[in-house]
Amino acid sequence: MDFELTDDQRLIQQTARDFATREIEPIAAALDKTARWPGEIVAQMGALGFLGMTIPTEYGGAGLDNVSYSLACEELSRACASCGVIMSVNNSLFCDPLLKFGNEWQKREILTPTASGKLLGAYGLTEPSSGSDAQTMQTVAEKQGDGSWILNGSKNFITNGPEADHVLVFAITARVDGRAKHTALIVKKGQPGYAQSPHDEKLGIHAAHSCTIYFENVRVEKEYVLGDEGGGFKIAMATLDGGRIGIASQALGIARAALEKAIAYSKERKSFNQPLATFQAIQWMIADSDVELDAARLLTLRAAAMKDRGLRHSAESAMAKLYASEMSTRVTHRALQIFGGYGYTTEYGMERHYRDARITEIYEGTSEIQRIVIAKNAIG
């Protein structure tokens, strides 16, 4: 068992760290305050290969492994959680399923420009009345005589939705013995009947725009069906296995940013004529946070390494996502506490990390869903 990164992985990590420190971190607070879509950052991420990291170069990607992807996602999220999740969605929830389940035309015409950053993708599973229980979705698609589909319904909380060129939409296309069968459809933005709401007003990740998307008799040509007809739910769940590695990596970055700032502050801020870092209560908060952060990183990199080896990783991805997301909430909570009253203000950015961390326990499967996945695997 080798816990050391390869030279290539260290290079990717350092490249992402340098880019995030130089280009993203200086504007992260302003992006959060104004909720501005970071279009210039997205373009630079595309140019650097961060939007299709594990996609082969022949399809516009960087041809890297999932460990490198996790490392880069952590670095970008440390600077700005919004930028981290924009990257994660395009990589894990759009490009990855197209690579796994797409045909050659879809890979050339849709995956290649998306992995290279020329286009942007989104993932449409959640609906206004269908969240954790995705089987209860109401969006439907009816097959036409020419093989195309007519899509009706809506999807909400769609990260990248307002800016995406394509959305991977899951819809009911048949019922067998009363049970819904779903099909994955690649839906192009701007078609007749395609509409979207203004971007959501959220607690955190303000610059990562999400919205509700509406489909009213939207025609989806047969070339835009991903995978087998009726096989959409399998695609959705397999995609989330990988997506949870990205969210775990995002949670790592958020927590690391908060902990690094708290450690630096504890060395500078004095109380009772001595630095906060000399007090055992503060030291224990830092120690607990450091241990949890490292444990979460090991869980996340294990899941990424298993994916690289082609091994089933549903439980391991769920473990990483569950522990890393709840760790991020705990660590940012402690870090804010170390800052005291200053942490509650917007001056130091601690409240931004605290707000950003909370979403990682919710999207791409709540903590409760992760526990169900883990328990089912343990019980058998």
195, 184 in Cβ contact below 8 A?
no
Q: What are phi and psi of 150, to 5 degrees?
A: -110, 120
User: What average pLDDT does the structure give for the chain?
Assistant: 97
Q: What is the pLDDT of residues 77-96, one digit of tens each?
A: 999 999 999 999 999 999 99
Q: Is the pTM of this model over 0.85?
A: yes
pLDDT of 104 above 80? yes
Residues 234-250 pLDDT 10s: 999 999 999 999 999 99
- Residue 138 main-chain phi, psi, to 5 deg: -115, -10
Q: How far apart are CA 223 and CA 240, in angstroms?
A: 24
Residue 40, CA distances (Å) to 27, 175, 205 in order: 11, 45, 17
All domains of the chain in start order, with CATH: 7-119 (1.10.540.10), 122-230 (2.40.110.10), 234-379 (1.20.140.10)
Give the C-alpha separation, 52 to 174, whole Å. 33
- Which residues does the annotation mark as catalytic? 364
Residue 136: is its pLDDT beyond 90? no
pLDDT per position as a tens digit, 240-280: 999 999 999 999 999 999 999 999 999 999 999 999 999 99
d(Cα 285, Cα 259) in Å, to the nearest integer? 10
What is the distance between the alpha carbons of residues 112 and 109, in angstroms, rounded to a whole number?
6
Distance CA 216, CA 30 (A): 37
